[in-house]
Structure 1
């Protein structure tokens, strides 16, 4: 067995530009077989292992097929796709053909397609072009249901099928029969690997991915009036809604839950250090002390506010035809209120309706979402960098895994690699997200294609972001507050008491006490005795003098404990946790 053959399960890792759909449900209707329903083609659990052979044929995404980038090239010895004309003219149900040999389902060992030559497959992590699908393939596995070719095909199919259901009651076509409705419901449940492969097979000839999907839906549904499918739609009507389905799925199923976990862990750490005196630095120099809990509560508040905005964010969508005028629908039936129909349909998908667009939805909403993600990333980067410095100073330490190695030559090392890895991934993500937020808001005249290849990389940008959050969460799990070291660092700089002393003296002494304390402390190493001698020389009320002499760095904490406790309570409430 070779090294590559020793890890067959890794070949199921579908790149984030080619994601899976959900497993198919059983073909039943109250225990009875559905009428004329095609054979189900479910995937096994996990990502479908599509062969990632690189296509040599040029393509141009939606208007000419994403074939080269999608990597669903037909091997030279595979059967040719069915004639397009025959598919397009089909008006009767067709039996599902057996998939070609190269499209067989995964084996029980999950070796997947092309397992005999893993070195040639982009699915083998050792040969993946992107570290998201290589080094971090296992961590990224959940996102393949959101960001990849198969996920996009499935989301487009969902839009097309739901549009068909919305169109049916208008009476433009004869109503769908109970048998047709049953087949449609069945296809929504079972749309999977076989359908995605068929789409890519037709796309190889058509050079248009959305049209290929339309023809596959005709094949699978076998409607009496197949031209109902994609009626009056342009590709971008389908695409903008499909991508928003995927983005909202990512937000709801992955992004928000992970951010909530991050908040929960931060709240635990803040609670543990609620009243623990903690050294601070402004400009890298000692400053007025705080508590460990309050410093973590700063990040809690920032992330809590952003979590609320993320949770409440509403994606937008359009469905208005080739140039946003509803003209094709109006030509077909001017008696229908197509504007109201479009609004109802878009809102039925869970999106805000955008009534006024060119061919494409303006993507301003996507830009807001990407920038919101960038803002969260920036807060997490700030946390990463502060945690790194806290560990450098020894105020926090990491629990050491005895199985790990920190350095190839220095045996003692316990490095903050989780926070460093998070920072690197988030900086990379922000570069991509910023570019995408800028680019996707611009399109020449009614539409150009330059946005399409950018949109296909949403999973790359958001994948690096999600990976960064995971790494920060893993790093926080290792943090342990060193209370003794913190107290020692706070006590080591009595000069920080110059602030409360000069503030307390301002109302009661002549001249500017700030200048007097500046002369005493700035650039000098002073101790508590030096500060006490200064206080003794003051001609002030004895009670005030007593209060001044009682000042200590470790008790000069202001409202730090109260502030932290309040924010921890807000977070616990948001997370639905019972406060101890």
Structure 2
């Protein structure tokens, strides 16, 4: 091995797989699929998004649609079984045996069947009509004895009836995963603070207008953003442990259940529709257009954008603290890592930088969804079909970004020397407290102007600790302040004392936040209907 090769390999550290393994590596099927993916979210970032294949893929959509149509058929069969009204001799579904139900449950459960239904769509030019026809065809093909009941499949329904439920289930699933990802992110933020403050509050400057303002403990600074997220998350909940679900409908062509009542006017179809929609864990709107109104979805999407904006702010503020020239936080050196392809003297916040852009991408897409889903003429049109099918693409950047931001944060640690330096460099941060005490003490003159003279040098630069200390002593002597007041003012230069009340409150808030985000992580399970379904029959 040449010396250069040996040095390069050694520089990668223990994580490097080894040169022989490297040059002997062969592509797997997954490798090839990711390399050939035109979308980075499914290629480069596939590890973060693979789970979406079981939520928003065409395969999953097709299987969910079959499932909803069959469940509607079974629900209708139960109504017909007990129906003894005017048209009791014209039941759309004859009484089904357990064996009949099992037969129907056994169709529409494979990806092949989804594709076969798409072949019918080539002729019908309507995907849900094709899916309904496919189920009828297959029942007639395999079980001709059920011919008298086959029209019960998709009876009196429009495509939006099963599809609104399918899209509602997909939306719930994505929403549930979002809450889990967000809760994990927030708990990671809390863990970082606790690690940094094992020995007491970590005091750093708080900035307003990009200038040093007052000292603040890291826990206090962190609680501000996390409490904002908590407030917004609570707006997404209908009670302590339940999130607002997405919507679904079962109302026929224009939401009036007109065809249902035309066929069987003596059945309470409103109750039937409500029970059916809510059986999937979805929000039910009593009267709809052809589709749901999407006001629930718009509210959820808009609230999520506000949450993401808060995450971006938290991330940006931390990145600012970790950036030059302050560098109050620094990355822990890791063997093999490179901060640049050409500049060896730096390390970058890759995860934070890229994560913010990903979140802004999702914000733009969510805002578009909130606006466009509600924008349909009269009873509805097909625009919602594309928008809802694209839900996975809208949420994908979030699922990539939040873990990357957390992973990036975990690679940092406080930089005590720089923190000590910056606190020493800007003692004027105590000025607001000192002048407030002077006002309380009722001294002559204008405390604000006196502190301003001490805090800002003649050349406009901020006074450092030595300069500020001399100025404060001169001021106290000039005004002949009482000894006790002088000691009180000097004590206000103790950063620990200044931040203590807020830091104590922040610690209490952090404990409450831990409990809250652990609870929301668990509560999100109620939204995960799809995850609880049996695996596809392949």
Q: Map of 1:373-452 to 2, 5 A cutoff?
A: 373-392=304-323, 393-452=326-385
The aligned residue for residue 219 of structure 2 is 293
Matched residues, number? 460
Contact 1:273–1:293, Cα closer than 8 Å, also in 2? no
1:302 aligns with 2:228: yes
Q: Which residue of 2 aligns with 1:53?
A: none
- Give the superposition deviation at 1:441: 0.7
User: Is 2:171 aligned against 1:241?
Assistant: no
Match of 2:490 among 545, 549, 552: 549
Name the SS for the 2:61 alignment partner.
helix
Distance 1:364 1:6, change over 3 A: farther
For residue 197 of structure 1, the aligned residue among 102, 115, 133 is 115
Q: Distance in 2 between matches of 1:169 and 1:530?
A: 87
Supply the distance in 1 between the matched residues of 2:221 and 2:507 (Cα, whole angstroms).
Answer: 12
Residue 251 of structure 1 corresponds to which residue in structure 2?
Answer: 175
Deviation at 1:231, TM superposition (A): 0.8
Over residues 433-464 of structure 1, what are the superposed CA-to-partner deviations in whole Å (9 max), with x where a residue is unaligned? 11111111110111122222222221111111
The offset of 1:524, in angstroms, is 4.4
Per-residue deviation at 1:572? 2.3
Q: Is the 8 A contact 1:144 1:151 kept in 2?
A: yes
Whole-angstrom CA distance in 2 between matches of 1:574 and 1:186: 42
Q: Give the Cα–Cα distance (whole angstroms) in 2 for the partners of residues 537 and 361 of structure 1.
A: 74
Matched with 1:276 is 202
The 5 A counterparts of 1:206-245 are 206-221=124-139, 222=143, 223-224=146-147, 225-245=149-169
How far, CA to CA, are the matches of 2:60 and 2:405 in structure 1?
28
3-state SS of paired residue (1:271): helix
**Aligned equivalent of 2:475:** 534
CA gap 1:573/1:159 in 2 versus in 1, 3 angstroms: same
**Is the CA contact (8 Å cut-off) linking 2:322 and 2:328 kept in structure 1?**
yes
Q: Tell me: CA distance 1:187–1:562, structure 2 relative to 1, closer, same or farther (3 Å).
A: farther
Supply the distance in 2 between the matched residues of 1:226 and 1:305 (Cα, whole angstroms): 50
Counterpart of 1:280 in 2: which secondary structure?
strand
Residue 87 (structure 2) pairs with residue 145 (structure 1): no
Spell out the pairing of 1:120-159 with structure 2 (5 A cutoff).
124-159=33-68
Equivalent position to 2:283, from 352, 362, 369: 352
Q: CA deviation at 1:236?
A: 0.7
CA distance in 1, matches of 2:430, 2:517: 38
The aligned runs of 1:164-203 (5 Å cut-off) are 164-171=73-80, 172=91, 173-187=93-107, 191-203=109-121
The answer (yes or no) to whether the contact 1:237–1:318 under 8 Å persists in 2 is yes
Deviation for aligned residue 1:331 = 0.9
Task: Decide whether the 8 Å contact of 2:196 with 2:413 is kept in 1.
Answer: no
Q: Which has the higher contact order (CA 8 A, sep 6+)?
A: 2
CA apart distance, 1:575: 4.4
Contact 1:316 1:354 in 2 (8 A): yes
Q: Does the 8 A contact of 1:271 with 1:565 survive in 2?
A: no
Q: Secondary structure at the match of 1:289?
A: strand
Picking from 428, 437, 451, the partner of 1:517 is 451
How big is each residue's C-alpha offset from its partner over 1:138-180, in whole Å with a ceiling of 9 and x where there is no partner?
Answer: 2210112112211211221222122122111211321222111
Q: Aligned residue for 2:29?
A: 9
Gaps of 5+ in 2: 1-22, 81-90, 238-242, 520-538
Q: Deviations over 1:351-372 (max 9, x none)?
A: 2211222111111111112112
What is the alpha-carbon distance in structure 2 between the residues aligned to residue 516 and residue 320 of structure 1? 73
- 1:558 is displaced (CA, Å) by 4.6
Aligned with residue 333 of structure 1, among 264, 286, 290 = 264
Higher helix share: 2
**Distance (Å, rounded) in 1 between the aligned partners of 2:380 and 2:132:** 21
| Residues 341-390 of structure 1: per-residue CA shift (max 9 Å, x gap) | 11111111112211222111111111112112212211111122112111
Q: Is the 8 A contact 2:167 2:389 kept in 1?
A: no
Q: Distance in 2 between matches of 1:538 and 1:163?
A: 86
Task: Please tell me whether the aligned partners of residues 269 and 293 of structure 1 are also in contact (alpha carbons under 8 angstroms).
Answer: no
Structure 1 unpaired stretches of 5+: 12-117, 119-123
Verify the 8 A CA contact 1:270 1:568 in the aligned structure 2: no
Please state if 1:574 is matched with 2:536: no
Q: Does 1:565 align with 2:507?
A: yes
Instruction: Work out the CA distance in 1 between the residues paired with 2:77 and 2:505.
Output: 58
1:256-300: per-residue Cα shift (whole Å, max 9, x none)? 221221121111112233411112211111110001122122222
Q: How does 1:439-478 map to 2 (within 5 A)?
A: 439-478=372-411
SS at structure 1 position matched to 2:423: helix
| Whole-Å separation in 2 of the counterparts to 1:544 and 1:269 | 39
| Paired position in structure 2 for 1:103 | none
TM-score (norm 2): 0.81
Is structure 2 residue 245 aligned with structure 1 residue 314? Answer: yes
2:88 alignment partner in structure 1:
none
1:125 and 1:133 in contact (8 A); partners too: yes
2 CA distance for matches of 1:525 and 1:419?
31
What is the distance in 1 between the residues matched to 2:182 and 2:475?
A: 50
